[in-house]
Amino acid sequence: MEETTPMQPEQNEELQNNAQETVVETIVEEPHTDNQPKEEPAPAAEEAPAAEAPEEAHEAAAPAAETEEKQEAEEPAVDLNSMDREGLLAVLQELMTEEIQAIKGRATALRARFNELNKEVQKKAFDTFVAEGGNKEEYEAQNDSVAEAFYRLYDQYRERRQKYLADLEVQKQKNYEAKQALIEELRTLIDSEEEQVRTALDRFNAIQDRWKAIGDVPREKMNDLWQSYHFQIEQFFAKLKINRELRELDQKHNLEQKIALCEKAEELIVEPSITKAFKELQELRAQWKEIGPVPAEQNEEIWQRFQHAASQIDERRKEYYEQRKEEFDNNLLAKQALIEKAETLTAEHPETTKQWNDLTAALDELLKVWKTIGPVPREQNEEIWNKFKGMIDRHYAEKKEYFSAIRDEQESNYQKKIELCLKAEAVAQREDWKKATEELLQLQEEWKNIGATSRKVSEKVWQRFRGACDTFFTKKSEFFKERRTSESENLAKKEAILTELKGHEWGDNREENLEAIKDFQRRWAEVGFVPMHDKERLQQEFRGEINRIFEQLKISAREAEETAYRERLRNVAGDAKKFIGSEKQELQEKIEKLRADLNLWENNLGFFASSKQADLLKQEFEKKMQGARQQIALLQAKLRILNESEKAEQEKEEKKDAE
């Protein structure tokens, strides 16, 4: 209840006259006493609003400190369930452009949702690692670029918020020191011998205005500071003995301020956002406590008006949370229905690829519907999510096993088809047309009996097999086509070369004889196919004549090659050292290539099964391999000749330098 300070008879007459003549607007506040109720803390977000304290308590109690939550603006709701990690990162980047005190709730919700999605991404990475043969004990989870960017940006948010809170505490301490200074200033005013009421009141009003303009102070210092301040106000009024008219004027001013607060509270009744209305009501309640007493006859009326508006807002808030609870319960029923549907779908085990894919599509559709349903009661949220997600995870694990078995079978089929490709490619190089054709047709029949392979390699391996078949049949077709038109001409040419060889007169010059033999062999090799019934006869006759000539001339084919090569080195013009180096490199490359061919042919021989056709093919490969070995021996002989020539050139240079 309000108290008045009566004027004393011994009051100075000039003071009384000045008080009666002066019209001053001031805020007079009741001192706080220990037996008066303190302000109750604001209700939690999920609790029903608390009842308002009586009017006397509001006017006498120290105002609660303005909390950080009250300073922060109302945050708009954001639907995070439908976003992926990239979307959450984009929302956080957008939030970072706003004031740091306005994004706490959304930033916290973003991080919680991102953690859920990032765990799913890391689990998939772990599953892939294990599926590819990795040891799960050695697996180390790592964030990808999206997660790195999100957590780096969230760290920046936390640093900014920590700085904001630190700055806020520093400012509260400064405010505390400023209010302490005002209390000292008020004490000085009380201790002064001020004779003019108007001057004292002006200074007093200025101190009160400055007091209200200063912001929050540390919570632990708030009550003591407030009691000291009100004690000085009481002392000020006691000393000056302000007349009743002036006090009534001050109470009238307080009444006007409280009427304005009532009007604002009544406007909040129709505010669409109940959260915003409740926060602003809390601010109005704090302002109400800052305002001093009003005339006693209007005290109850104005308090009931304010309390009536506040009660309606509190009731709306209560209804809002009751409605939210009902919505949460309905969402719970909807999600439980989805769980039952998922249980029905996963009860039967699919047996075909189509059935697996159809079931996956159905479960994915349920997951999409799940994400469109709002939240459920917090105490049941994790339980039903784990149950629903567990069924989906089990489905994908079983599906993975099913397709893994299919992939193993496809891989086996792929290896079988690769073996057929190798065999077809080997057959495609042969010219025993009849047997090769039969074998190739048999390979094609085997191909038809092999099952499917992976789609990504199916066309490639088929084109390889078909290419080998096409190569063979194209070569076979061209061979028989050309042979029919040119065999007669080639027969005449080889008969002529053979006749010329038999009639050739050989001299005593060894090198000239070797060159002539090489020329006959080259010309013979350049002539194409002859009729099959003449081929063997001509070849034996030609080879017999060549061997007879070698025997007659007492030289071997390899010796002839080496002799010709030595002669070539002796006739090198220009820089002999440079020529030898270039020639050695070329010979070494040829030797390496022939050795690689030998290794390839030896590997190919391992693919042939034991059969008459395979034995014939092996014989052809062995002939090629024998020819390659002879060619390597000749090239190595030439390499030795080059080394000898190189050594001779070095000795020449050393001798020349010594002279």
Ordered by start, the domain boundaries in the chain are 13-130+140-324, 569-659
- 57 exposed, middle or buried (CB, 10 Å; 0-12, 13-18, 19+)? middle
Average pLDDT over residues 618-636: 79
Q: What is the mean pLDDT of the chain?
A: 78
Distance between CA atoms of 314 and 282, rounded to whole angstroms?
11
pLDDT at residue 197, as a whole number: 64
Residue 454: φ, ψ to 5°: -60, 140
Q: Is the confidence at residue 39, as pLDDT, over 80?
A: no
Condensed to tens digits (0 to 9), the pLDDT of residues 242-263 reads: 556 667 788 888 888 989 989 8
Distance between CA atoms of 47 and 219, rounded to whole angstroms?
23
DSSP string, 552-610: HHT--HHHHHHHHHHHHHHT--S-HHHHHHHHHHHHHHHHHHHHHHHHHHHHHHTT--S
pLDDT at residue 472, as a whole number: 85
Contact of 338 with 376, CB cutoff 8 Å: no
Judged by average pLDDT, the poorest of 147-156, 162-171, 637-646 is 637-646
Query: How many other C-beta atoms can be found within 10 angstroms of the C-beta atom of residue 455?
Result: 8
Q: Is the confidence at residue 29, as pLDDT, over 50?
A: no
Q: Is the confidence at residue 302, as pLDDT, over 50?
A: yes
pLDDT at residue 518, as a whole number: 80
Q: Is the confidence at residue 450, as pLDDT, over 50?
A: yes
pLDDT at residue 156, as a whole number: 93
Q: What is the pTM of this model?
A: 0.33
Distance between CA atoms of 277 and 283, rounded to whole angstroms?
10
Number of residues written out for the chain = 659
pLDDT at residue 612, as a whole number: 59
Q: Is the confidence at residue 382, as pLDDT, over 80?
A: yes
pLDDT band at 311 (very low <50, low <70, confident <90, very high): very high
Residue 498: φ, ψ to 5°: -65, -40
Condensed to tens digits (0 to 9), the pLDDT of residues 350-360 reads: 878 888 888 89
Condensed to tens digits (0 to 9), the pLDDT of residues 53-99 reads: 223 323 333 343 344 444 455 567 677 888 899 999 999 999 899 88
Q: Identify the CA nearest to 531 among candidates 493, 499, 486.
A: 486
Q: Is the confidence at residue 160, as pLDDT, over 80?
A: yes
Distance between CA atoms of 232 and 235, rounded to whole angstroms?
5
Most confident of 102-111, 479-488, 539-548, 624-633: 102-111
DSSP-assigned letter for residue 64: P
Q: Identify the CA nearest to 30 among candidates 5, 7, 6.
A: 5
Q: What type of residue sits at position 555?
A: I
Condensed to tens digits (0 to 9), the pLDDT of residues 392-434 reads: 898 888 888 877 887 888 888 888 888 889 988 898 888 888 8
Contact of 444 with 469, CB cutoff 8 Å: yes
pLDDT at residue 114, as a whole number: 93
HSE (side-chain half, CA atoms, 13 Å) at 163: 8
pLDDT band at 303 (very low <50, low <70, confident <90, very high): very high
Query: How many other C-beta atoms can be found within 10 angstroms of the C-beta atom of residue 169?
Result: 11
Distance between CA atoms of 458 and 463, rounded to whole angstroms?
9
Residue 470 token pair: 């096409």
Contact of 60 with 230, CB cutoff 8 Å: no
Q: Is the confidence at residue 483, as pLDDT, over 60?
A: yes
262 or 631, which is more confident: 262
47 or 533, which is more confident: 533
Contact of 294 with 56, CB cutoff 8 Å: no
Q: Identify the CA nearest to 427 among candidates 599, 597, 609.
A: 609
Residue recorded with tokens 């007091």 = 211
User: Beta strands of 30-118 (E only): which ranges?
Assistant: none
3-state secondary structure string across 247-278 = HHHHHHHHHHHHHHHHHHHHHHCCCCCHHHHH
pLDDT band at 18 (very low <50, low <70, confident <90, very high): very low
Radius of gyration of the chain (CA): 53
Judged by average pLDDT, the poorest of 274-283, 290-299, 537-546, 565-574 is 565-574
Q: Is the confidence at residue 320, as pLDDT, over 70?
A: yes
Distance between CA atoms of 189 and 508, rounded to whole angstroms?
145
Percent of the chain with pLDDT over 90: 8
pLDDT at residue 629, as a whole number: 82
- Rounding to the nearest 10 degrees, give the CA dihedral for residues 241, 244, 245, 246: 40
pLDDT band at 500 (very low <50, low <70, confident <90, very high): confident
Average pLDDT over residues 592-606: 81
Condensed to tens digits (0 to 9), the pLDDT of residues 186-224 reads: 888 887 765 466 677 788 888 888 898 888 888 888 888
pLDDT at residue 246, as a whole number: 67
193 or 149, which is more confident: 149
pLDDT band at 439 (very low <50, low <70, confident <90, very high): confident
Q: Identify the CA nearest to 241 among candidates 394, 16, 570.
A: 16
Average pLDDT over residues 11-21: 34
HSE (side-chain half, CA atoms, 13 Å) at 212: 16
Which own/partner pairs from 653-657 qualify as long-range (CB within 8 Å, at least 24 positions apart)?
none
Q: From residue 526, how far is each of 18, 493, 498, 543, 628 by CA, in Å? A: 140, 10, 14, 15, 20
Contact of 85 with 114, CB cutoff 8 Å: yes
Average pLDDT over residues 310-323: 88
Q: Is the confidence at residue 286, as pLDDT, over 70?
A: yes
Average pLDDT over residues 47-52: 30
pLDDT at residue 14, as a whole number: 35
Residues of 202-237 as b/e, b for ≥16 C-beta within 10 angstroms? ebbeebbeebeebebbeeebbeebbebbbebbbbbb
Contacts of 438 by beta carbon, 8 Å cutoff, 6+ apart: 613
Average pLDDT over residues 174-188: 89
Query: How many other C-beta atoms can be found within 10 angstroms of the C-beta atom of residue 657?
Result: 7
Query: Where is 91: in which H helix or E strand?
Result: helix 85-95
Q: Is the confidence at residue 50, as pLDDT, over 70?
A: no
Q: Is the confidence at residue 283, as pLDDT, over 80?
A: yes
Average pLDDT over residues 261-282: 88
Distance between CA atoms of 61 and 494, rounded to whole angstroms?
129
- 77 exposed, middle or buried (CB, 10 Å; 0-12, 13-18, 19+)? exposed
pLDDT at residue 154, as a whole number: 94
Contact of 311 with 356, CB cutoff 8 Å: no
Distance between CA atoms of 451 and 454, rounded to whole angstroms?
10
Distance between CA atoms of 16 and 500, rounded to whole angstroms?
158
Classify 30 as helix, strand or coil: coil
pLDDT band at 155 (very low <50, low <70, confident <90, very high): very high
Q: No. of H helices and E strands in the chain?
A: 20, 0
- 250 exposed, middle or buried (CB, 10 Å; 0-12, 13-18, 19+)? buried
Q: At what angle do helices 85-95 and 145-191 cross, to 10 degrees?
A: 30
Condensed to tens digits (0 to 9), the pLDDT of residues 85-94 reads: 999 999 999 9
Judged by average pLDDT, the poorest of 221-230, 438-447, 471-480 is 471-480
Q: From residue 387, how far is each of 338, 345, 367, 382 by CA, in Å? A: 11, 14, 13, 9
Query: Where is 107: in which H helix or E strand?
Result: helix 104-131
How many Å from the N-terminal Cα to the C-terminal Cα in the chain?
Answer: 133
Q: From residue 252, how far is each of 5, 51, 198, 256, 259 by CA, in Å? A: 17, 27, 18, 6, 10
pLDDT at residue 614, as a whole number: 67
Q: Is the confidence at residue 46, as pLDDT, over 60?
A: no
